[in-house]
Amino acid sequence: MRRASAIAAVAAASLALAGCSGGSGDGGGSDGGKQVEVFTWWAAGTELEALQALVGVFEEQHPDIKFVNAAVAGGAGSAAKDLLQTRLQAGEPPDTFQAHAGMELQDYIKAGQIQDISNLYDEFGLRDAFPDQLIDLLTVDGAIYSIPSNIHRANVVWANPQVLKDSGIDPADVPTDIDDWISDLKKVKEAGYTPLSIAAPWTQVQLLETVLLADLGAEGYKGLWDGSTDWSSSEVTEALKDFETLMGLTNGDRDGLDWPGATQMIIEGTAAYNVMGDWALAAFNEADMKRGEGFIDFPVPGTADTFDFLADSFTMPVDVPHPEGAKAWLKTVGSLEGQVAFNKVKGSIPARTDIDPEQFSEYQQSAIKSYAEDTIVPSLAHGAAVSVGTLNDITAAVSKFTAGGSDLATLQEELGTAVNG
C-alpha cells in the first residue's frame, strides 16, 4: 500500500475508518469515551510491569484516552499471533498491535493489514530518532509501518555463579565456543544440577538459532535466510549435532514451562545456565539479584561480537477502530519518555539513539555498546529473520525433534524445507 503523500495517507485512513468502523470512531466507544485497545503478549510478570510503565507515561501524556489492555499470554507471542490473525481476518483489528521488525512485519504489510504511518514519523520528529538499520527493517517500498519500542538481544547466556563454583567452574572463565561450553555443562551435570534450563518450543528455537550463529558465524548464519548458506551442508549438520547435545543437557519438564520458569531455575540455583533474550534481565532485577553476584551474563559461546537482534514495534491496522487513540499510543511509544520508562523495566534498550546510557543498568549499557559496535544479525525465533509461516514450520520441526519424534537428518531436511520450500 503505497501512498502518494502523507496527506493522501491521512485522507485514506479517515475514509477507511468512515467506511468500516460502523461510524463509531474515537469518542464513539460503548462508554462514549476515547480509547485505545493495545494488543501484545506482555500479559504477565515483568513483561506486564514493563507495559504498565509505558502505560503510565501514556496516561500522563494523553489523560483523556483510555488504555484498554488486550494482551494475550504466551512468551514470544506463541498464542497471541494466531488470535491476532483471526481478528485481523475477521475485520476486527485492535487499535494497535505488537509486531517484530523484519520479516514478521512484512507478513502484515503484504497481507494489507497495516497502514503506512510514515506521516507520523514526520509529525513526531522520529526520522532521526532511530538507527538507519532499524528504519530499513520497518520500511517497505519507502513506506514505514510501525514505531519501535525497544531492541532486545537474543544471544545471551544467564548463569548462576554459585552453581558454577559448586561444579568446579570459575565463573570468570567464560567458555569461548560451543565445545568448551559443552565440557562445562557436563561438569555441572556431574555436580547434580540441571546444566541448561529451557522451556517451551519457542525457547528451543531460540537456542537453536544461537547455536547456528555460534557454529556458522555471522555471515554463515545470515546466509541461512537469504539462500547463500546451504541447509544440507555438513556445517549445518555439525551445528545441529551441537544442538542435540545441548538439548540432552536440559530439564525434562521444559515443554510445560514458559521462559520465566526456565529463568527461575537460574534464580533459585537449580540450574547453571539459560539462553534467553535480555527480557530475562527483568526477572533477575525483580528477584533483587545483582549482576556479577547473583547472576552473570555473557554472549552465547562463539557469538561474542555479534548482536542477535529483535525489536518490538507497534502498528496502525487498516480500518483501525480508534485512530486518534492509536496515534496517541504510537506517539508515546516513540517518545523519549516512553522509551526510557518502558526499557528500564523490560531489560531491552531503547530504539531511540538520543538516550543517556547512564540512565540504564550496567547490563543494558553493555547491550547499548554491543548494538553500536558489533555485527547485527536477525533473530529467527523473534520475527526478524523469517515470516510467521516459516517460523511456525521451523518450530514444528524443532519440537518434533526435541520430543523424540524425528532424527537429526529429518530435522535438517525439515528445516531446509521450511526455509526454502
Binding string to ligand GAL for residues 344 to 383, with x set by CB under 6 A, is what? --------------------------------------x-
CA nearest neighbour of 339 among 88, 126, 24: 126
Binding string to ligand GAL for residues 41 to 80, with x set by CB under 6 A, is what? xx----x---------------------------xxx---
CB 352 within 8 Å of CB 343 = no
Strand-pairing partners, residue 308, are 377
Smallest gap from residue 399 Cβ to ligand GAL (A)? 17
Helix runs in 72-117, H state only: 80-89, 103-110
CA nearest neighbour of 379 among 266, 241, 224, 191: 224
Residue 338 identity (one-letter amino acid) = G
Smallest gap from residue 324 Cβ to ligand GAL (A)? 26
CB 16 within 8 Å of CB 114 = no
Q: How far apart are CA 384 and CA 396, in angstroms?
A: 18
Q: How far apart are CA 280 and CA 292, in angstroms?
A: 15
Using CB under 6 A, which of the segments 7-15, 40-48, 112-120, 355-363 binds ligand GAL? Answer: 40-48
Per CB under 6 A, does 107 bind ligand GAL?
no
Smallest gap from residue 73 Cβ to ligand GAL (A)? 10
Per CB under 6 A, does 147 bind ligand GAL?
no
**How distant, in Å, are the alpha carbons of 63, 241, 286, 384 from that of 47?**
23, 33, 11, 20
- Nearer Cβ to ligand GAL, position 167 or 348? 348
Smallest gap from residue 334 Cβ to ligand GAL (A)? 17
Helices 178-190 & 234-247 angle (0-180, nearest 10): 20
Smallest gap from residue 383 Cβ to ligand GAL (A)? 7
- Nearer Cβ to ligand GAL, position 77 or 201? 77
- Nearer Cβ to ligand GAL, position 20 or 83? 83
Residue with the shortest CB distance to ligand GAL: 75
**Where in 261-300 is the site for ligand GAL (CB under 6 A)?**
277, 279
CA nearest neighbour of 160 among 298, 300, 303, 293: 293
Place of cell 530475562: 280
Binding residues for ligand GAL, total number by CB under 6 A = 13
What is the binding site for ligand GAL (CB under 6 A)?
A: 41-42, 47, 75-77, 152, 259, 277, 279, 310, 312, 382
